[in-house]
């Protein structure tokens, strides 16, 4: 249900925060930096998907939201 999805989102947001913190401490464009950055982008997309699920957006509506 909704509680479960909120929990997932909270965990993903926590992950984002720690990844962003990690990113700041890494030398820019190093291998680890790029890997972390790509992980951030993936996590960001996952958060979006979970939010869409909560609001019950369809694939079509998501396209509209993401422009």
For 10-51, the DSSP string reads HHHHHHHHHHHHHHHHSPTTSHHHHHHHHHHHHHHHHHHHHH
Taking the model in full, what pTM does it have? Answer: 0.79
Q: Read off the pLDDT band of 63 (50, 70, 90).
A: confident
How many other CB atoms are found less than 10 A from the CB of residue 34?
A: 13
Q: What is the pLDDT of residues 8-29, one digit of tens each?
A: 999 999 999 999 999 999 999 9
Contact 39/19 with Cβ under 8 angstroms?
A: yes
């Amino acid at each position: 249900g909704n509680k479960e999805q909120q929990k997932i989102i909270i965990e993903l947001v926590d992950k984002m925060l720690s990844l962003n913190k990690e990113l700041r401490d890494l030398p820019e464009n190093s291998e680890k930096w790029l890997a972390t950055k790509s992980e951030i982008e993936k996590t960001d997309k996952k958060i979006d998907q979970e939010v869409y699920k909560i609001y019950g957006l369809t694939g079509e509506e998501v396209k509209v939201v993401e422009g």
